[in-house]
Amino acid sequence: MLKSVLKYLFSTLLAASLLYWAFAASHLEWEDIYRTFLQANYRWVSVAIIISLLSHWLRALRWEQLLESLSYQPGQLRTLSAVLIGYFANFIVPRMGEVSRCGSLQKTADIPFEKSFGTVITERIIDLLGLVGIVGITFLVEWKPIQAFLFPHTETPPLSLIAGLIVIALIGLITLWFTKDFILAKWEVLSKSSKVGQILSGWIDGIISIKGVKKPGLFLLYTAAIWLAYFLNAYTLLLAFNSTENLGLAAGLSILVMGTFGMATPTQGGIGAYHSLVASTLVLYQIDIKEATALATFFHGTQMATILLFGGISFILTLFLPKKINRVNS
């Protein structure tokens, strides 16, 4: 209990410190934020919110495919509510989103927590691969401004270092291959003889659920559509302001990448880190630092308001949803 309290206090202090630093470094005042909210084109903001909700729905559809491969069919309403509750929880307690969404499905759809959590791990791995791809595209499209701003003195690593890392990786893979039978035997004993082993076994069942996805092409389509929706959300918010409406698609891509990194920090909803990273990115496109920080605050505030509203509604809804016994082939 004390450890959880200390972690929460740390994340809160970190968020407050990063936010204060972002505001102080840009000399941003509340009047600047208020003026930014008045200047926004709320038609584009409304479109951005709709796109954001669409991305959450697409994520729920993709998650359903993983759950279905384990013979569970919670239904779109329960799955979407769980996704929104997860995002809602992240704005309250960092890293609680995954736990909350799995707990929600355990309550409303009778899906074992450890198995749904395993599918969430799979989702995170897929998302990480998608982010790596988006970062690669962004660096190719916008390498010069990014390199000048973030890595002004970067040099290509020596070939000896690259070769050494490749050799180490190969040795590790070869070692795993020759010891796989021993590892599997030990794992079988552990998974049957201890509670921890059973929990880990459930996680692994969830993680490898991707092997049983019935329509892998549709799964990949959902994944691409999720990232496209994230990009369109970022780009549409740029269209909501006169100073950023002409920055172009590449700027939207840069905002998406840096905003994603900001949201991944161990603070409530990426507070502070998102503001700093997105503001710094806007500076690359000749936006004054004060205005850039105000815009980043608006972008983050829009996302936060959307999640808190619809996540809160979803939480209330789950209180009244009857538990669905949904195992298919049971």
What's residue 71's pLDDT? 85
Averaged over 103-126, what is the pLDDT? Answer: 87
Which segment of 163-172, 196-205, 256-265, 270-279 scores lowest on mean pLDDT? 196-205
pLDDT-based confidence at residue 324 (cuts at 50, 70, 90): confident
pLDDT-based confidence at residue 330 (cuts at 50, 70, 90): very low
pLDDT-based confidence at residue 28 (cuts at 50, 70, 90): confident
How many CB atoms are located within 10 Å of the residue 178 CB? Answer: 8
Averaged over 106-118, what is the pLDDT? Answer: 86
Task: Give this prediction's pTM.
Answer: 0.79
What's residue 308's pLDDT? 92
Domain chopping of the chain, boundaries: 2-318
**Tens of pLDDT along 130-142?**
888 888 787 777 6
Which segment of 48-52, 194-198, 302-306 scores lowest on mean pLDDT? 194-198
pLDDT at 234 over 90: yes
What's residue 149's pLDDT? 55
Helices 273-284, 113-150: crossing angle, 10 deg rounding = 40
pLDDT at 20 over 90: no
What's residue 326's pLDDT? 58
**Tens of pLDDT along 247-275?**
888 889 889 988 888 888 888 888 888 99
What's residue 329's pLDDT? 44
pLDDT at 143 over 60: yes
